[in-house]
């Protein structure tokens, strides 16, 4: 089974350790939401899982295989996609080029259903991606990530700057991908309503530690909101 398991992750930048012993897992067909205030280690966790930051301690296993030392592009080849919070598109490339950049063949129908949900992107296929609004760039990143049809997608703040009607479509598409294809997601998100609509489980970080973890159905919204208030 293609399950991602991370145990006692210690990770950071230089001598500064941001994460201190964080553990979790996500199974096929499920969404793990990661919550917390700004600067508590959420992006660091995704970068570590994607292979962009080395671990100082702990381990990450994908389908029973140790991912320590496996480069990001090799993780993608093994079915793990990553949509970062910043620099989400290749600005000098067109929208169309961004969508097809990581794919060896251009299969015309791959993005048809996704672009039907986001017609503004479909209208801008020849436009330079850097000229899109911030929300449109997020939609492009989201569309590209789902179009990769990865077994596991790591998404960092996918709804940031996106219009509410498109956020609803994103939630529906994400759950559809889980339910129909058995795909898994780890989603870092500040939009609690979005996260609670898509996530099966939640992991809450505070100052690099996991302070709350469990199934969404067992956690009160107020308890989660308390960890978002500055």
pLDDT tens digits for range 49-67: 999 999 999 999 999 999 9
Average pLDDT over residues 109-117: 91
Taking alpha carbons only, the member of 132, 42, 142, 32 closest to residue 82 is 142
What does the block give as tokens for 118? 């986001």
* Cα(202)–Cα(31) distance, integer angstroms: 8
Using the predicted structure, report yes or no on whether residue 230 has a pLDDT greater than 70.
no
Regarding the domain with residue range 4-225, which homologous superfamily does it belong to in the CATH classification?
A: P-loop containing nucleotide triphosphate hydrolases (3.40.50.300)
What does the block give as tokens for 143? 């569309």
* Cα(96)–Cα(104) distance, integer angstroms: 14
In this prediction, residue 158 carries a pLDDT of 96
Taking alpha carbons only, the member of 69, 46, 56, 29 closest to residue 198 is 29
Segments making up each domain of the chain, as ranges: 4-225
- Let me know how many helices (H) and strands (E) the chain has, helices first: 9, 10
Using the predicted structure, report yes or no on whether residue 1 has a pLDDT greater than 80.
no
Q: Which residues lie closer than 8 Å to 179 by C-beta, 6 or more apart?
A: 29
Considering the chain, what percentage of its residues have pLDDT values greater than 90? Answer: 86
In this prediction, residue 108 carries a pLDDT of 64
Band (pLDDT 50/70/90 cuts) for residue 105 is confident
Q: Residue 78: which region, alpha, beta or left (left: phi > 0; alpha: psi -120 to 50)?
A: alpha
Task: Summarize pLDDT for 138-156 with one digit per residue, the tens.
Answer: 999 999 999 999 999 999 9
Band (pLDDT 50/70/90 cuts) for residue 75 is very high
């Amino acid at each position: 089974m293609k399950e991602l398991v991370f145990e006692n992750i210690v990770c950071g930048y230089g001598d500064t350790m941001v994460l201190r012993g964080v553990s979790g897992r996500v199974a096929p067909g499920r969404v793990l939401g990661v919550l917390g205030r700004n600067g508590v280690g959420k992006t660091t966790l995704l970068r570590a899982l994607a292979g962009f930051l080395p671990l100082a301690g702990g381990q990450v296993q994908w389908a029973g295989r140790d991912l320590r030392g496996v480069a990001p592009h090799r993780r993608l080849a093994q079915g793990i996609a990553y949509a970062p919070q910043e620099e989400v598109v290749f600005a000098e490339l067109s929208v169309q080029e961004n969508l097809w950049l990581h794919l060896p063949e251009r299969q015309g129908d791959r993005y048809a259903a996704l672009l039907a949900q986001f017609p503004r992107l479909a209208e801008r296929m020849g436009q330079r991606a850097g000229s899109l609004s911030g929300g449109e760039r997020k939609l492009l990143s989201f569309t590209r990530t789902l179009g990769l049809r990865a077994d596991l997608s790591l998404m960092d703040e996918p709804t940031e700057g996106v219009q509410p009607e498109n956020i609803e479509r994103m939630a529906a598409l994400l759950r559809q991908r889980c339910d129909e294809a058995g795909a898994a997601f780890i989603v870092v998100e500040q939009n609690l309503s979005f996260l609670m609509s898509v996530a099966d489980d939640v992991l809450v970080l505070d100052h690099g530690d996991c302070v709350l973890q469990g199934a969404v159905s067992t956690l009160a919204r107020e308890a989660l909101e308390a960890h978002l208030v500055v």
